[in-house]
Structures are given as C-alpha cells and as structure tokens.
C-alpha cells in the first residue's frame, strides 16, 4: 500500500478524522480536524498513521491504553471541542430529518462515573486476558486502568481476573459484565462454558472473599452474598442479573430531573420501555404510573420495588413487546403524560400511535440521535411541538450520546 499525505477536514460520527481525497473520503483513527497526517490507505481507512501537523485542540489522553483499547475514540480532543462535537451529533441528526428544535449545550460526564462495564476475557494457557477489544478486531487489550469506569470496578481488576480465570471453561473469548451497586459488584459472565463442580466451588469462594455481591454465569445465579440494589430517586430496586441500567448515575439523575419537571402535575403517566423503573418509580412519587416493558425480569424488579415502597402513588405494570404490539392511541388517551426510553432501534411504531393520541406532554429519551430524530419527526407531524432537546454525555470519550426531548401537544383549538 502506498502512503498518502492527508489533511483532516472534520470528525466523523464514530470519532475518526475524515479526509477528502480524489478517491473519496478516508477515515483516519485518532486524527483531528486541521491536522496533516501520513498514512497507508486501504478501502477508505487509514493505517499506520504518522502525525505531521498537530491540531491546537489536541491534548494528552487521560489513559495509557488510549489508541489500543477500543473503549474510547476521542480522549485526545480538548474539552470544549469535544462537547461541541457531541452536541452537534444531535443537532445534525435532527436537521437531517427536517426537525427544528432548540438543542441545549451538552450536559457533561465526569471521569470515573461509569458504573457498568463489559470486559472481554479469554484464557491463554495458564493466564487470562481481561480487557477490551481493539477496534474492529478480536484482539484483547489487557487494561490496568480505566479513567471512565467507577473506582469500585477498576480497583477490583485483580480479583476480576482471578474470577475470570476460574470460570473460563473454554478457550474462546467470553464477556464479563460488571455493575457497581450499593451492595458491591454484580458480575454476569456469558459464554465462558459450562462450570464444573470444582470450578463452581472455587468461583463461589472467590466471589464471597472478594466482597462481590453476586455472580451469574450463563444466566444462572451461582452465588448471591448480597442482593444487588440501585436507587431510583430514593426507591431501592433489586436489579436482575445483567439488567439494563443507565451507564452513569449523573446522567440518570439529569435525565430524570428533565422528565419529572416536564411532566410535573400529571395525575396519570405511562412509562413505555420502563426497564426496572428509572423513570416510573420517580414519577410515582407524585402521581399514578403505568409501566410497560417487554423484559419480564426488569418488570418484576420494578413491581417488587413499588410494592415495597408504600409512599408511592399506585404503580401498575404490563409486560408487552412494544416493538411488535405498541400501545394504541386509544389506550394512550387514558394518560395525561408519557415518557419513553427505547433501545437504540428507537420506537417508530409506538411513536405513530403516540402521534395520534391526545396525550398532552411527552418526554422522549434516546441513546441514538438518528432514531430519535426519526421518532421526533413522527411526533411533530402528529401535532407535537418540541420545546427542548438536551444532549447528555454518559459515555465519556466515546461516539455515543444520550438525549432527552421534551414535547407538548396544544389543546384542541389552540395554536
């Protein structure tokens, strides 16, 4: 491959620098706008990049593993430029769908706040590799630090490696999801193979001696020394193994505050894609809530938490696959406020029904600006007005960005 001199025009959606050439766009990992680099180019992607002219916005990365570990893509960008880039990801996605909205400045994410991390592990002879995959590769970078992750996780790396060594019953790579909870680390291993009796006993002993709260392997709870709980606005919730949880408490608190303030005064709310109750349990402090979720374990955790908290207003739950059977406009008309927080695929069919409904206030939460923009366009076409869109950074130094959109439908006869 011949080496080329490239000038970086802008940052792409995944954090790569983008250079325009006669052959088309070239994506240059870890390069910044305005920089000149020399690199070999293969199928539109730069390899073995050498920096020739650096951007004034380039800074020293916070982690020694940056550039090898696949967890972060933009640690080398100064804070102001980073925040603008993430905010613009949301603004550009809305503009591409023709959605006009006031996009607020990015709500920042502090270092050391990520409370759930998924490691990749693989046995290599008597040793274990535990870390993150190199971008676009199966190669594992063994990590000794992670400034993104909660200290409770990084301080336990030694014990986590020993546990991974114990449960590894296959030479293939497997995943270890680690969640920091008030009761200790909740660990869910998937794909490590079938545990033998001796492995099981050793894993139980190690889990308890390390002070971990729970160990789950391939969906089976092997040991639970303490019930892993999280706190949703003062309500304790015993989360299921590997259950969905907002990545950082800071982002969760910020999103919940926006949702509660927008829906303030509602007497009956519906929470769609409710998970284990991030929003539903907070909203139930002020009014009735109906929580709808397709995951039975998450819904059970929400229901049990609500039943154990007598200070809450009535909370009802419904197990329902909203992708295939969205709540109809007629069903939604029973509520005066609504929040939805779907997976990355968004809530296209559900939004078509919301658009036809008489629900006055809607809060949309999303981790994907593209599908959020599509869903908001549907709601706007149905008569809703976007009051505000707030981007929230809970995936520090990654290309991912959360957003909360607040909408209102005028009463009939009002403009």
Q: How far apart are CA 180 and CA 228, in angstroms?
A: 9
On whether 252 is known to bind a ligand per the annotation, the reply is no
Known binding residue 293? Answer is yes
Contact status, residue 383 vs residue 409, Cβ threshold 8 Å: yes
**Closest-CA residue to 167 (of 197, 187, 192):** 192
Half-sphere exposure of 128 (CA within 13 A, CB side): 23
- Whether residue 273 is annotated as binding a ligand: the answer is yes
Count other Cβ atoms within 10 Å, centred on residue 329: 16
Strand residue runs (E) in 191-249 = 214-217, 220-224, 229-232, 235-238
Euclidean distance between the first and final Cα of the chain, in Å? 62
Helix, strand and coil content of the chain, in percent to the nearest 5, comes to 25, 35, 45
Cβ pair 354, 338 in contact under 8 A: yes
Q: DSSP code of 97? A: T
Angstrom distance (rounded) from CA 89 to CA 17: 15
* Cα distance between residue 98 and residue 188, in whole Å: 42
What is the β-pairing status of strands 268-272 and 288-293? parallel
47 annotated to a ligand binding site: no
146 as an active site residue: the answer is: no
CA 130 – CA 225 distance, rounded (Å): 24
Q: Are 203 and 222 in contact (CB under 8 A)?
A: yes
- Interatomic CA distance for residues 301 and 120, integer angstroms: 27
CA atoms within 13 Å, Cβ hemisphere of 143: 30
Read off φ and ψ for residue 59, nearest 5 degrees: -130, 165
| Three-class SS state of 45 | strand
Query: Is residue 366 within 8 Å of residue 402, measured between CB atoms?
Result: yes
Which residue of the set 63, 69, 72, 367 is catalytic? 367
CA angle 299, 301, 304 (to 5 degrees): 105
Active site residues: 367
> Which residues line the annotated binding site for S-adenosyl-L-methionine?
246, 273, 293, 341
Residues making up the annotated binding site are 246, 273, 293, 341
């Amino acid at each position: 491959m011949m080496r080329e001199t490239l000038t970086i025009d802008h940052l792409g959606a995944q954090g790569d620098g983008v250079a325009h050439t006669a052959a088309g766009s070239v994506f240059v990992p870890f390069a910044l706008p305005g920089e000149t680099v020399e690199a070999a180019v293969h199928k539109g992607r730069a390899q073995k990049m050498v920096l020739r002219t650096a951007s004034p916005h380039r800074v020293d990365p916070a982690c020694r593993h940056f550039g090898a570990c696949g967890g972060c893509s933009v640690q080398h960008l100064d804070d102001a430029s980073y925040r603008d880039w993430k905010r613009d990801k949301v603004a550009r996605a809305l503009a591409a769908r023709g959605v006009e909205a006031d996009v607020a400045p990015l709500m920042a994410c502090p270092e050391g706040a990520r409370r759930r991390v998924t490691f990749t592990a693989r046995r290599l002879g008597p040793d274990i590799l535990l870390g993150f995959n190199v971008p676009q590769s199966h190669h594992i970078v063994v990590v000794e630090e992670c400034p993104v992750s909660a200290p409770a996780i990084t301080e336990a790396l030694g014990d986590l490696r020993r546990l991974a060594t114990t449960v590894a019953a296959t030479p293939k790579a497997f995943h270890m999801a680690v969640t920091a909870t008030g009761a200790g680390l909740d660990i869910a291993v998937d794909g490590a193979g079938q545990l033998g009796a001796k492995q099981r006993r050793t894993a139980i002993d190690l889990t308890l001696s390390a002070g971990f709260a729970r160990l789950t392997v391939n969906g089976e709870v092997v040991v639970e020394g303490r019930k892993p709980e999280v706190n949703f606005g003062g309500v304790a919730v015993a989360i299921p193994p590997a259950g969905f949880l907002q990545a950082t408490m800071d982002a969760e608190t910020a999103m919940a505050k926006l949702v509660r303030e927008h829906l303030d005064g509602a007497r009956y709310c519906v929470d769609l894609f409710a998970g284990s109750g991030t929003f539903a349990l907070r909203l139930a402090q002020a009014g009735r809530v109906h929580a709808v979720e397709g995951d039975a374990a998450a819904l059970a955790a929400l229901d049990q938490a609500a039943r154990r908290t007598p200070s809450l207003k009535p909370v009802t739950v419904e197990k329902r696959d909203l992708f295939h059977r969205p709540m109809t406009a007629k069903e939604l008309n029973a509520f005066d406020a609504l929040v939805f927080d779907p997976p990355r695929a968004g809530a296209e069919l559900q939004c078509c029904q919301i658009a036809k409904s008489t629900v006055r206030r809607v809060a949309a939460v999303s981790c994907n600006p593209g599908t959020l923009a599509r869903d908001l366009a549907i709601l706007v076409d149905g008569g809703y007005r976007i009051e505000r869109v707030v981007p929230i950074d809970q995936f520090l130094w990654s290309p991912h960005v959360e957003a909360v959109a607040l909408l209102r439908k005028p009463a009939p006869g009002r403009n």
